[in-house]
Structure 1
Amino acid sequence: MTHDHPVAADRAVSRPFGRVLTAMVTPFTSDGSLDLDGAVRLANHLVDEQGNDALVLNGTTGESPTTTDAEKERLIRAVVEAIGDRARVVAGVGTNDTRHTIELAASAEKAGAHGLLVVTPYYNKPPQSGLVRHFTAVADATGLPIMLYDIPHRSGVPIETETLVRLAEHDRIVAVKDAKGDLTATSWVTSRTDLAFYSGEDSLVLPALAVGCVGVVGTSTHFTGALTQRMIEAYDAGDPGTALALHRRLLPLFTGVFRTQGTILVKAGLAALGLPAGPVRPPLVDATPDEIAQLRADCAAAGLELP
């Protein structure tokens, strides 16, 4: 039997950013300004207590639409300096303007980031040829490894399978944060390329591993990072029973943090734990008492205590 393309099972697993990455919220002070001291404390907690291999800064969960370019650079510098070589820092630099994205990529590289997360240009709905041009231009302009972010329910445009296969030919495009929710499409790309796929849907991590994904860029991992790490390690070790048990245990929180916009509930949960978070910036709004009560119930269902 022959294959037209090498299959993932025939290759060593490549994890350019480790197994578990958290899309970290950006802490603010009570007046809404950037809280760098809080960001350092939170980053250390996520690495040391929640077992994260890398942190994604300045993503949507980090409220990138409402932070300035200068704030983004200051945040990267502070976190890189704080966590040293204990974890990697991946900087979100994606916008719907190729020139601006390249500028942010250069700023992040100068600030010490180890990799870049580049989302599909949103709202202006470019064709697939435009996506190739956009991602290639960014990759050509930086020396850092790039993780593409495929999230069509926010961007309005998927990165199609053939487009991903073509982009995989670029030396610096090494990974995908996959929030498409289409495991068939994921299967085709992981079977035809060496791209490292990271699930962008917390609840799909375990099934995604079965079709070639290597880890997660999570939101609930602010609270579940260490257990999610154990789940992936169990799967890798050939113990799907343990992995499934952990998946089922964590499912209430994998899904619960998205009952409203994820940043809102993560910040509420971190505040309850006494960790830096602060308010969200408009147009987001802080969690209501009822939403916080539901988050506590979801945490309890997952076997985690939220004061």
Structure 2
Amino acid sequence: MVTPMRPDGSIDLDAAQRVATHLVDAGHDGLVVSGTTGESPTTSADEKDELLRAVIEAVGDRCVVIAGAGSNDTAKSVESVRLAQKAGADAVLAVTPYYNKPPQAGLVAHFTALADASDLPVMVYDIPGRSGIAIERETYLRIAEHDRITAVKDARGDLWFAGAIMQETGLDWYSGDDAMNLPHFVNGAVGFVGVTSQVAPVDYREMADAVVAGRWEDARAVHRRLVPIVDAIMNVTQGAIMAKAGLALQGVIDSPAVRLPLVPADDHQTALVRAALSQLSATSERPAAG
């Protein structure tokens, strides 16, 4: 979930509650608050806590609320986990520490420390394209032994590896790459943690329902329908920028403001999102964005 901000960059908690309610009304059965798409690197611990509490107040009785708690500082991540439990989160998302490129033994110690910090289940987030390091097989085998490390958000793009680790560990697998959601479902994933799903929630709910019902042709049709909007949101610039542009076009948020070093979508980028949303509405037979 994006973190709505006013034009001056301050967090808009009322807008966050409106976004959360909109997404749950449209079919989301879970929300990640203060993940990377929520601009977690540039929000403070106090802001994250206020945001999490606002979202839980709005929809905590209607969906799973997962708190982003990962960073490249284990001590800060541990404190984030503890605050998430106090706020009432259902689980935490812990990204592989970025930039400092710890050894695999460091990853085991990091994820174990986070899992030990509360009673909440932990979803580890494997995204070597951003973190600079992938979680290796032996590391997965070790962390899967922890009772509270239960799930993986996979953005490494290796379906063969994912299938093997699912088989060996029994961890619940979630696609963390919008373009790979359907292939991950085919491979045995139980869900996805997406960015584009914020601007096309009904379509993604339709895909998930088709998968659960075993209607693979219908799921494939939705997947193909979503290609233009996934391209616009994920393949032009940073996903949070384009997701906020899309939500602003749809009238879900008032401002597409982001915090530096991110910058709002420019006119060309906004036009790309508008065109993709119009194309999606035409194929979905739903009203287009403004």
TM-score normalised by structure 2 residue count:
0.95
The 5-angstrom pairing of residues 77-88 of structure 1 reads 77-88=53-64
Write the letter of the residue equivalent to 1:125. Answer: K
For residue 257 of structure 1, give the secondary structure of its aligned residue in structure 2: helix
Question: Aligned residue for 1:225?
Answer: 201
Q: In 2, distance between residues paired with 1:277 and 1:42?
A: 11
Quote how far apart the aligned CAs of 1:199 are.
Answer: 0.3
What does residue 267 of structure 1 align with? 244
The letter of the residue matching 1:58 is S
Q: Secondary structure at the match of 1:176?
A: strand
Shift of 1:158: 0.4
User: What is the CA-CA distance between 1:63 and the residue it aligns to?
Assistant: 0.6
Q: Deviations over 1:207-262 (max 9, x none)?
A: 11111111110000112222112212212222111111111011111222011111
Q: 2:10 — aligned with what? A: 33
Instruction: State the 1:301 CA deviation.
Output: 2.8
Preserved CA contact (<8 Å) 1:119 1:151:
yes
> Offset at 1:84?
3.0
Which letter does structure 2 place at the counterpart of 1:229? Answer: R
The 5-angstrom pairing of residues 24-173 of structure 1 reads: 24-49=1-26, 51-173=27-149
Give the match for residue 285 of structure 2.
Answer: none
Deviation string 1:163-219 (CA, Å, 9 cap, x unpaired) is 112211110001011001111110111111221111001111111111111111000
Per the alignment, in what secondary structure is the counterpart of residue 134 of structure 2?
coil
Structure 2: distance between partners of 1:269 and 1:230: 20
Q: Secondary structure at the match of 2:70?
A: coil
Q: Which runs of structure 2 are paired with 1:157-306 in the superposition (5 Å)? A: 157-258=133-234, 259-276=236-253, 278=255, 279-303=257-281, 305-306=288-289
Distance 1:98 1:260 in 2: 29
Paired residue secondary structure (1:188): helix
Aligned length in residues: 283
User: Larger RCO: Structure 1 or Structure 2 (Cα < 8 Å, ≥ 6 residues apart)?
Assistant: 1
Report the AA paired with residue 230 of structure 2. Answer: F
> CA shift at 1:277, angstroms?
5.5
Q: CA RMSD in A?
A: 1.1
Runs of at least 5 residues in structure 2 that lack an aligned partner in the other structure: 283-287
> Counterpart amino acid of 2:229?
L
**Paired-residue identity, %:** 52
TM-score by length of 1: 0.90
User: Secondary structure at the residue paired with 2:281?
Assistant: coil
- 2: CA distance, partners of 1:148 / 1:294: 32
Asked if the contact 1:95/1:121 (under 8 Å) is kept, the reply is: yes
The answer as to whether partners of 1:26 and 1:277 remain within 8 angstroms in 2 is: no
Instruction: Please state whether the residue corresponding to 1:208 is helix, strand or coil.
Output: helix
Secondary structure at 2:193 match in 1? strand
CA contact (8 A) 2:2 2:37 kept: yes
Please give the alpha-carbon distance, in whole angstroms, between the structure 2 residues aligned to 1:84 and 1:114. Answer: 9
One-letter code aligned to 2:272: Q
Q: Give the letter aligned to residue 203 of structure 2.
A: L
* Structure 2: distance between partners of 1:190 and 1:212: 8
The ranges of structure 1 where at least 4 consecutive aligned residues each deviate by more than 3 angstroms after the TM superposition are: none
Rounded Cα–Cα distance in structure 2 between residues aligned with 1:251 and 1:95: 31
1:27-56: CA deviation from partner (whole Å, max 9, x where unpaired):
11121111111101111001012x101100
CA contact (8 A) 1:190 1:211 kept: no
- Mark the runs of 5 or more structure 1 residues left unpaired by the alignment: 1-23
Cα distance in 1 for partners of 2:67, 2:201 equals 19
More helix by share: 2
